């Protein structure tokens, strides 16, 4: 394995670009390849076996493309499949989990909300994390039913999305949460809308920055950190129409390559 090989990143669709942005900002000298499995989005409604199979498919495509490490930029895939991936493939894997710990530690009202997909909320890994930090904290979990589909179709700022979010957040706000944990990599793209809806004293928190820092640690520990001085152009692939993906990363403005790929 060479340090100049790319970091592979996959998600059930375009949402994982929120994780990619944090990695790219922290590690600009790293070449990155991003796979948006939008054809199969959302993963959150699928049975565990199918989530594992899709995660293996994405992993094998990234390995074919030379990935030196793989970031599973999808909460549902991490919580349901990363153990299988780590036991079957000989590269480092970095996962993404809801940021329950910092929210629980800093909450003053002792009430936090978690907005996530069904696949994440029902997973064993999520249950363990929630149980660990819920001793003195009330955790209110809400399934973000329909949000991934709206983001994938380019409607993240629509009135339909705003109305859906208001309905989803209402029970959490009635219990005086002061932190909202975003438990899906798609959801950071809803932050501008969330700031319109949420009271000022409710903070929104996601895992992107922490994942980027952990990626740097893993690369350093495995002697895979790319040398400084080069600025490789990242590559993005979608197995559906790549227009939404391109718009989220400002591909034209940044001269990023976004392509259709059947995988």
CA triple 257-77-36, angle to 5 deg: 15
- In total, the chain counts a number of residues equal to 263
Catalytic site residues? Answer: 74, 184
pLDDT 10s digits, 230-247: 889 999 999 999 999 999
Reply yes or no: is the peptide bond before residue 113 cis, omega within 30 of 0: no
Residues 6+ apart with CB under 8 A from 15: 73, 74, 148, 151, 184, 185, 186, 187, 188, 189
Q: What was the pLDDT predicted at 16?
A: 96
Tell which residue, 231, 239, 186, 226, has the closest CA to residue 20.
Answer: 186
pLDDT of residue 132: 85
Give the global pTM: 0.92
**CA dihedral sign of residues 27, 189, 129, 10:** negative
Based on DSSP, count helices (H) and strands (E) in the chain, helices before strands: 12, 10
| Per-residue confidence in pLDDT tens, the chain, 263 aa | 899 999 999 999 999 999 999 999 999 999 999 999 999 999 999 999 999 999 999 999 999 999 999 999 999 999 999 999 999 999 999 999 889 999 999 999 999 999 999 999 999 888 888 888 878 899 999 999 999 999 999 999 999 999 999 999 999 999 999 999 999 999 999 999 999 999 999 999 999 999 999 999 999 999 999 999 888 999 999 999 999 999 999 999 999 999 999 99
Query: For the segment 138-160, what is each residue's pLDDT rounded down to a tens digit?
Result: 999 999 999 999 999 999 999 99
């Amino acid at each position: 394995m060479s340090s100049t090989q790319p970091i592979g990143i996959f998600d059930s669709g375009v949402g994982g670009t929120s994780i990619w942005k944090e990695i790219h900002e922290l590690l600009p000298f790293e070449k990155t390849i991003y796979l948006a499995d939008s054809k199969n989005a959302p993963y959150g409604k699928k049975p565990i076996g199918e989530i594992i199979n899709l995660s293996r498919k994405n992993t094998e495509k990234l390995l074919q493309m030379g990935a030196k490490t793989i970031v599973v930029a999808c909460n549902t895939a991490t919580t349901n499949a990363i153990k299988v991936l780590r036991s079957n493939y000989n590269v480092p894997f970095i996962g993404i989990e809801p940021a329950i710990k910092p929210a629980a530690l800093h909450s003053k009202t002792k009430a936090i909300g978690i907005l996530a997909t069904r696949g994440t909320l029902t997973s064993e890994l999520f249950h363990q994390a929630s149980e660990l930090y819920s001793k003195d904290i009330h955790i209110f979990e809400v399934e973000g039913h329909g949000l991934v589909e709206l983001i994938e179709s380019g409607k993240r700022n629509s009135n339909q999305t705003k109305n859906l979010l208001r309905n989803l957040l209402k029970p959490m706000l009635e219990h005086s949460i002061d932190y909202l944990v975003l438990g899906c990599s798609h959801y950071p793209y809803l932050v501008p809308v969330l700031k319109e809806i949420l009271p000022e004293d409710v903070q929104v928190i996601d895992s992107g920055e922490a994942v980027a820092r952990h990626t740097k640690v893993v690369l350093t520990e495995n002697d895979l950190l790319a040398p400084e001085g080069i600025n490789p152009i990242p590559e993005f692939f979608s197995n559906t129409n790549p227009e939404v993906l391109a718009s989220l990363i400002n591909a034209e403005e940044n001269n990023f390559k976004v392509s259709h790929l059947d995988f």
